Amino acid sequence: MYAFDFERPKTLADAVKAMTDEDAVMLSGGQTLIPSLKQRLAMPSKLVSLTGIDEIKGICTDDEGRVCIGAATIHADVAAQTHYPALAALAGNVGDPAVRNRGTIGGSLANNDPSACYPAAALGSGAVIRTDKREIAADDYFTGMFETALEEGEILTEIKFPVPEKAAYMKFEQPASRFALVGVFVAKYADGVRVAVTGASNEGVFRWSEAEAALGSDFSAGAVEGLKLDGSNMISDVHGSGDYRAHIAAVMTKRAVAKAG
């Protein structure tokens, strides 16, 4: 790693201030950032740890019945909550137990790895992503592989998940990293169904509108039978071609619907 200063503010306000330094980088759980620092892929002047800020940790529900999760909440705690079981199940299968004890929901969403699980949950739930400055709808938040609507120094503080009637996440693991080769989050709300696919596309997590339409009128595994995604813009690597990912996305969608019940 390159040398850097380390700061661990106790309040959001102090964190915002700390982030005004040039080349300051936020550290949440660090489960992705630290390995990339080891590879010297980043050269921060300062790391600003968000793990000491209690005000952006924890889980509650708001007046609209949404589950509100502090951005610095670790995966293990998201997995333990009972307000949104499909989200808990997803969180309980991110990485491995030790990673879940450090990695945070905010860190994952800020990084927006194209194979991460949380982006599928946030997009699939139509979550609202709150920062120190504003609220961003999930539909506007994910802008590409490792890209989000966050501005320089903007700190993710909370994610608000509307709780669906039914939901499930199915992940088909890449055998080495155990990230999603393809992961599909399906959620049925009163006003429609959302289907978000991670791991597959060169453009990061996306909504599968054909499947949403089909499931909107008939929420059953049979409704998506025969639907196909185009594999040409899917990730193709040693673990599977774009066509394979497109195929698996359809299979996982079907299975997620079946699991959601």
Partner 1 sequence: MPKVSMTVNGKPATGEIEGRTLLVEFLRESLHLTGTHVGCDTSQCGACVVHVDGRDVKACTIFAAECEGAEVKTIEGMAADDGTLDTIQQAFQDHHGLQCGFCTPGMVMTAAALLRDNPDPSEEEIRSYLQGNICRCTGYHNIVKAIMAAAGQDTSKIAAE
Partner 2 sequence: MPKDGGIGDATKRREDVRFLSGTGNYTDDINVARQAYVHFLRSDVAHGKITGLDTAAAEAMPGVLRIFTGKDFEGVGSIPCGWQVTDKHGEPMQEPGHPVLAQGKVRHVGDPIAAVVAETREQARDAAEAIELDIEDLPAVMDMKAALEDGATKVHDDLTSNLCFDWGFVEDNKAATDAAFESAAHVTTLELVNQRLVANPMEPRVAVGAYNRAGDDYTLYTTSQNPHVIRLLMGAFVLGIPEHKLTVIAPDVGGGFGSKIYHYAEEAFVTFAAKALNRPVKWTSSRSEAFMSDAHGRDHVTKIELALDAENNFTGIRTETYANMGAYLSTFAPCVPTYLHGTLMAGNYKTPNVYVNVKAVFTNTVPVDAYRGAGRPEATYQLERVIDKAARELKVDPIALRRQNFITEFPYATPVAVEYDTGDYVATMDKLEEIADVKGFPARRAESEKNGKMRGLGVNCYIEACGIAPSALVGALGARAGLYDAATVRVNATGSISVMVGAHSHGQGHETAFPQVVAEMLGIDPAMIDIVHGDTSKIPFGMGTYGSRSLAVCGSAMVKATEKIINKAKKIAAHLMEASEADIEFKDGQFSVAGTDKSVAWGDVTLAAYVPHNYPLEEIEPGLEETAFYDPANFTYPSGAYACEVEVDPETGKVTVERFAAADDFGNIINPMIVDGQVHGGIGQGIGQALLEQCVYDESGQLLTGSYMDYAMPRADDVPFYSVDHSCQTPCTHNPLGVKGCGEAGAIGSPPSVVNAVIDALQSGGHNVTHIDMPVSPSRVWQAMQG
Nearest distance from C-beta of residue 176 to partner 2, angstroms = 4
With vertex at residue 61, the alpha carbon angle to CA 157 and CA 186, rounded to the nearest 5 degrees, is 85
Distance CA(114)–CA(27), nearest Å, equals 19
Residue of 244, 246, 253, 260 interacting with partner 2 (CB under 8 A): 244
Which CB, 83 or 239, lies closer to partner 2? 239
C-alpha distance from residue 168 to each of 183, 185, 215, 251, 257 (Å): 11, 6, 13, 13, 7
Interface with partner 2 includes 3 (CB under 8 A)? yes
User: Helix-strand-coil percent breakdown of the chain, rounded to 5?
Assistant: 35, 25, 40
Q: How far is the CB of 75 from partner 2 (least distance, A)?
A: 18
The answer to the question of residue 82 lying near partner 1 (CB under 8 A) is no
- In sequence order, what are the beta bridge partners of 195? 186
Decide: is 178 part of the binding site for partner 1 (CB under 8 A).
Answer: yes
SS3 182: strand
Rounded to the nearest whole angstrom, what is the least distance from the CB of residue 202 to partner 2 in the complex?
Answer: 17
With CB under 8 A as the contact rule, which of the stretches 23-31, 124-132, 153-161, 185-193 interacts with partner 1? 23-31
Sheet-wide strand order for 24-27: 5-7, 46-49, 24-27
For residue 42, the partner it binds in partner 1, partner 2, none, with Cβ less than 5 to 8 A by kind, is none
- Give me the residue label for tokens 């307000």: 83
Task: State the DSSP code for 151.
Answer: P
Q: Scan residues 209-238 and list those touching partner 1 (CB under 8 A).
A: none
- Residue 244 binds which entry of partner 1, partner 2, none, CB below 5-8 Å type-dependent: partner 2
Say how far residue 179 (Cα) sits from the centre of its chain.
12
Residue 224 Cβ, how far from partner 1 at the closest point, in Å?
Answer: 28
Which helix (H) or strand (E) segment holds residue 210: the answer is helix 209-217
Cβ atoms of 148 and 110 within 8 Å: the answer is yes
Site string for partner 2, 70-109 (x = CB under 8 A): ----------------------------------------
Considering only residues 94 through 153, tell me which ones interact with partner 1, judged by CB under 8 A.
95-99, 101-102
Note the residues at the interface with partner 1 (CB under 8 A): 1-6, 8, 27, 30-31, 34-35, 37-39, 46-47, 49, 51, 76, 95-99, 101-102, 177-178
